[in-house]
Chain A
Amino acid sequence: MSLPPGLRRTPMAWAAAVMLASLVVLALVGPLVWGASADRPDASAVLQGPSVGHPFGTDNLGRDVLARVLTATRPSLLLALAAVLLGAGAGILLGASTAVLGRRARRLTAGLINLLLAFPALLVAMFLAVVFGAGAAGAMLALAAAGVPGFARLTQTLAAGVAGTDHLAAARVLGLGRLRLLGRHVLPNIAEPLLLSTTTAAGTSLVALSGLSFLGLGVQPPGYDWGQLLNQGLDRVYAEPLPALAPGLAILYAALAFQLLGEVLAGNAARRGPAPRTPAPTPAPWGSPRPKAGGGPAEEGLVLQVEDLHVELPTPDGPIRPVHGVSLALRPGEIVGLVGESGSGKSLTALAIADLLPYGARVSRRTLRLLGADLAALAPKERDRHLATGLAMIFQNPASALNPALRVATQLTEAVRAHRGASRAQATAEAAEALRRVALPPAVLRSRPHQLSGGQRQRVMIASGLMVRPGLIIADEPTTALDVTVQREITRLLSEIRRDTSAAILFISHDVALVGEFCESILVMYAGTIVETLPADRLADGARHPYTRALVASVPDLTADRDRPLPTIDGAPPDPLTPAPGCPFEPRCPRRRGHCADHTPPLEDLAADHRVACWYPVPVAADPETVAAS
């Protein structure tokens, strides 16, 4: 026997499979093999205890209990499955319909589900079983009905997730009918969790059905299922425990089988969810993650000095190296823009500097100095402290970077009180001052993040960064989630801060135009490396790397000729899972030559403030083809 593909071969998966298979086999062959002996009364062997002929004894008509338990597998399982399938089917239809119905009908259905949920399921089942009349069909229907609200609610919640997506909106606009929406677009996307809970519910329903039979509300003699057998055995459990134990064990076994199957399915679904953060299995080929103190020589007067930074991340398909060999340096009061498209490694570079990489990531670097201190040489505690007081990070999404439950005052004063031991009054005074710096009134101290607008929240984030009087501010896409007018205010604010405090700012963005306008010098990243560094005023016309050129050209500009198509870059960035030798831009580069494919160009000086990693840089306008041949 083998497990279906896609299921992980864990011991639990095997156990569930074996148990289920045994149940299926029993249900199929049980009545054929043992049916006759289970129904054959034997007046000479009434109410016997265990013996060789009857391992679990006999009942009041002298029938073999073991044979009866084995034969009862089929009706017990069939009834439980029928109940759960009916209940789940009706519940799922009811719940899923809320995603495609009109507003009025949707509200009515939701109300109905809420109302039904208010009744405890088992009581409803018993009540209905009495109403429908004692018997197998009645009990099964009662149980099915009792399961409907639970499934309906679950489905409703899951379907609401799908209902909000753009593809469902698009399908509606296409004019697809409700049934098609439901069957094609809603249900398939929530099938997995539903299947999972149906499986678990099958176990529960088996126990519940046995319970009903046990109470005399389910299967009626002469028919029998496990619950009924349990009931008969229980009359004399003190004299003979085994005849009661046998059906009890059967119920337990079957319920466990379903439960295990549910667990296995759930585990499987979870594994296909977001990639787990696991430590990289093998040591990185480029040295230990925490190199010994020392590194490159310290340069005087640098706020940040990074040399040869590498990051390795584990992914389900193997480790990738999204940052390799990045070096950068910032002086006090300098604003440097780090620009690149998604996947270029720009954000990971920032996170690596701030020691904020996700768990499992591995970092190596020759040098990493913040305000002159070698971070590798510091003990972990000191390093954290040095980072917390020397560096401020501002993220793209202030809504998630601020704690929604805390007042602004608490969040602003936390760091200084922890790191500088400032008193509460002093810290609050400093917080008010920091807010004034970002042009917010002190009243904001008493508000919570959700009471502020996006722009205000970003200001609070910046104020919170300023509280520690950092030497370096790393702003990772700080304005991407904001409107252009607010963006302008934030960049202006950052310029003022750097002028007044001489903090250095590393400004990370995908927006070439913004970076070019706001920063002094630019680092362009592509596929994990810096491909060009240049002064911002040269970005528009003086870039030498073919990628930088293409990137700048592809930005729509208000002054551009709108009748011409925008220049684009063919192809896509390299797949980080399959790194190729040579220049990373080679497959897309219009200037590539044979040499580029297998020799990686180093980042080399073209001028004092202009470096480029390209064998054949684009010539500047005044300087025709000669440069290209060098």
Chain B
Amino acid sequence: MTVLRVTDLTVHHPGPLGQVTAVDGVSLEVPSGTTLGLVGESGSGKSSLARAIVGLVPVHTGRIMLDGREIRARTIRDRRRLGRLVQVVLQDPDTALDPRMTVRQTLGEAATVFHRLDRPARDKRVTELLELVGLDPRLAGRLPRQLSGGQRQRVALARALAVEPGLLIADEVTSALDVSVQAAVLNTIRELQRRLGLSMLFIGHNLPAVCHVSDAVAVMRHGRIVETAPTDALLRAPQHPYTRTLLAAVPSLRTPPPAPAPEEQPP
């Protein structure tokens, strides 16, 4: 559906000691209908990259192309055009939804950004969206605080899907969830990829979770991408030493922990 191509992107952050380079010359590509996983540890710049793509933080240099057209987010009109193509789901289920709006209002608002819908049509769409993300349509009347973390994250997902974007960016969507809830959300995401043919950028620090839903994985560190490979290849034969460190650090019930090895110290 939608192809994302990022070329040589640099993003700066205002820090206490002047500008900090959060994203440093990153290039990546998400081919149509596939999922690119982006893993990195805290401070690697992965969230800044996501926010830059959807126009929430300004781009310093470099280009972001969607389906071959450069994106801009300067005016509201730019932003509306962009919003039709890309949507984002962010990390925190606690603030992801407006606490004063019911699920129906939240989803209804998103569904009517680009389409005029009368009341019955809107309610029907809300029901569809809730079913799409595996929620009981009867939850539509609830407020966010009456939902569990996993349910809130699903509603946020439904809101992003309401405008039928070609590309979905998921930034640490499962990191605040319990393991059993995370499993269900990951399954939903896989299911959505298949059914909607979405292109997706799935960002996280949890390597197993990211790998579970991604066709290819990019490893990010200190604002740069150190390795990109198809998921199987990355897991079988990681090339970059940092990728290997990261893989070795993942706790697993099925493989014994690696012997202590001289590790890279964080700077």
A residues less than 8 Å from B96 (CB atoms):
166-167, 170
B211/A562 in contact, CB under 8 A: yes
A residues less than 8 Å from B187 (CB atoms):
565-566, 568
B59-67, B121-129, B249-257: which one contacts chain A?
B249-257
A169/B90 in contact, CB under 8 A: yes
Assuming A173-B55, A554-B180, is B253 touching A484 (CB within 8 A)?
no
Partner of B95 from the list A165, A177, A568 (CB cut-off 8 Å) is A165
Partner of A173 from the list B76, B83, B109, B212 (CB cut-off 8 Å) is B83
B residues less than 8 Å from A185 (CB atoms):
98
Complex Cα distance, B260 from A492, in Å, reads 8
Partner of A510 from the list B179, B245, B250, B255 (CB cut-off 8 Å) is B179
B2-10, B21-29, B155-163: which one contacts chain A?
B155-163
Say if the beta carbon of B220 comes within 8 Å of chain A.
Answer: no
For window 279-304 of A, CB contacts with B under 8 Å fall at none
CB distance from A349 to the nearest CB of B (A): 17
A16-24, A326-334, A514-522: which one contacts chain B?
A514-522
B253/A516 in contact, CB under 8 A: yes
B55/A166 in contact, CB under 8 A: no
Say if the beta carbon of B113 comes within 8 Å of chain A.
Answer: yes
Partner of B41 from the list A485, A492, A552, A568 (CB cut-off 8 Å) is A485
Complex Cα distance, B42 from A510, in Å, reads 20
A555/B208 in contact, CB under 8 A: yes
B residues less than 8 Å from A488 (CB atoms):
248-249, 263
Say if the beta carbon of B87 comes within 8 Å of chain A.
Answer: yes
Partner of A555 from the list B87, B92, B179 (CB cut-off 8 Å) is B179
Say if the beta carbon of B71 comes within 8 Å of chain A.
Answer: no
Say if the beta carbon of B216 comes within 8 Å of chain A.
Answer: no
For window 135-159 of B, CB contacts with A under 8 Å fall at 148-149, 156, 159
A173/B251 in contact, CB under 8 A: no
Complex Cα distance, B90 from A454, in Å, reads 23
B186/A166 in contact, CB under 8 A: no
B231/A562 in contact, CB under 8 A: yes
B179/A562 in contact, CB under 8 A: no
Partner of A551 from the list B86, B160, B180 (CB cut-off 8 Å) is B180
B252/A175 in contact, CB under 8 A: no
For window 184-207 of B, CB contacts with A under 8 Å fall at 184, 186-187, 190-191, 205-207
Say if the beta carbon of A483 comes within 8 Å of chain B.
Answer: yes
Complex Cα distance, B255 from A96, in Å, reads 54
Partner of B249 from the list A166, A167, A484, A560 (CB cut-off 8 Å) is A484
B156/A170 in contact, CB under 8 A: yes
Can you name the residue of chain B whose Cβ is closest to the Cβ of A167?
Answer: B98
0/1 interface trace, chain A 552-576, chain B, CB 8 Å (1 if under): 1011111110100111110010000
A175/B253 in contact, CB under 8 A: no
Say if the beta carbon of B54 comes within 8 Å of chain A.
Answer: yes
Per DSSP, chain A at the interface is helix
Interface size on B, residues (CB 8 A): 75
B186/A556 in contact, CB under 8 A: yes
Say if the beta carbon of B222 comes within 8 Å of chain A.
Answer: no
Complex Cα distance, B236 from A393, in Å, reads 39
Say if the beta carbon of B1 comes within 8 Å of chain A.
Answer: no
A568/B250 in contact, CB under 8 A: no
A174/B91 in contact, CB under 8 A: no
A568/B180 in contact, CB under 8 A: yes
A485/B180 in contact, CB under 8 A: no
A residues less than 8 Å from B178 (CB atoms):
341-342, 510
A residues less than 8 Å from B211 (CB atoms):
556, 558, 562
Say if the beta carbon of A487 comes within 8 Å of chain B.
Answer: yes
Assuming A170-B159, A511-B179, is B87 touching A485 (CB within 8 A)?
no
Of A518, A539, A559, which is in contact with the most chain B CB atoms at under 10 Å from its CB? A559
A interface, size bucket:
35 or more
B residues less than 8 Å from A572 (CB atoms):
148
B100/A188 in contact, CB under 8 A: yes
Complex Cα distance, B181 from A342, in Å, reads 11
Complex Cα distance, B235 from A513, in Å, reads 18
Partner of A566 from the list B92, B183, B254 (CB cut-off 8 Å) is B183
Say if the beta carbon of B13 comes within 8 Å of chain A.
Answer: no
Say if the beta carbon of B130 comes within 8 Å of chain A.
Answer: no
0/1 interface trace, chain B 46-70, chain A, CB 8 Å (1 if under): 0000010011101000000000000
Assuming A454-B42, A484-B205, A558-B252, is B83 touching A175 (CB within 8 A)?
yes
Complex Cα distance, B213 from A271, in Å, reads 43
B212/A556 in contact, CB under 8 A: yes
Say if the beta carbon of A512 comes within 8 Å of chain B.
Answer: yes
A512/B179 in contact, CB under 8 A: yes
A166/B98 in contact, CB under 8 A: no
Partner of B246 from the list A484, A511, A552 (CB cut-off 8 Å) is A484
CB distance from B106 to the nearest CB of A (A): 8
Say if the beta carbon of A134 comes within 8 Å of chain B.
Answer: no
B88/A169 in contact, CB under 8 A: yes
A489/B55 in contact, CB under 8 A: no
0/1 interface trace, chain A 297-322, chain B, CB 8 Å (1 if under): 00000000000000000000000000
B residues less than 8 Å from A172 (CB atoms):
55-56, 79
Assuming A558-B211, A562-B231, A566-B187, is B84 touching A175 (CB within 8 A)?
yes
Complex Cα distance, B214 from A67, in Å, reads 81
CB distance from A402 to the nearest CB of B (A): 18
For window 154-205 of A, CB contacts with B under 8 Å fall at 165-167, 169-178, 184-185, 188-189
Of B95, B100, B251, which is in contact with the most chain A CB atoms at under 10 Å from its CB? B251
Partner of B252 from the list A171, A188, A559 (CB cut-off 8 Å) is A559
Say if the beta carbon of A497 comes within 8 Å of chain B.
Answer: no
CB distance from A41 to the nearest CB of B (A): 56
Partner of B88 from the list A173, A557, A560 (CB cut-off 8 Å) is A173
For window 412-457 of A, CB contacts with B under 8 Å fall at 453-455
B residues less than 8 Å from A173 (CB atoms):
54-56, 79, 82-83, 86-88, 160
Of B76, B83, B114, B179, which is in contact with the most chain A CB atoms at under 10 Å from its CB? B179
B100/A178 in contact, CB under 8 A: no
Complex Cα distance, B108 from A176, in Å, reads 13
B residues less than 8 Å from A560 (CB atoms):
212
B41/A556 in contact, CB under 8 A: no
Enumerate 16 A-B pairs (CB-CB under 8 Å) in ascending A order: A172-B56, A173-B83, A175-B79, A189-B100, A341-B178, A342-B178, A455-B266, A484-B246, A485-B245, A512-B179, A517-B251, A539-B253, A551-B180, A556-B186, A558-B208, A565-B187
Interface, chain B (partner A; CB < 8 A): 41-42, 51, 54-56, 58, 76, 79-84, 86-92, 95-101, 109-110, 113-114, 148-149, 156, 159-160, 163, 178-184, 186-187, 190-191, 205-209, 211-212, 231, 235, 245-257, 260, 263-264, 266
Give 8 nearest A-B pairs by CB, closest first: A175-B83, A175-B80, A554-B183, A483-B41, A165-B95, A566-B183, A166-B90, A341-B178
6 more CB-based (< 8 A) A-B contacts, given A174-B83, A175-B114, A557-B253 = A165-B95, A173-B79, A173-B82, A175-B81, A184-B109, A483-B42
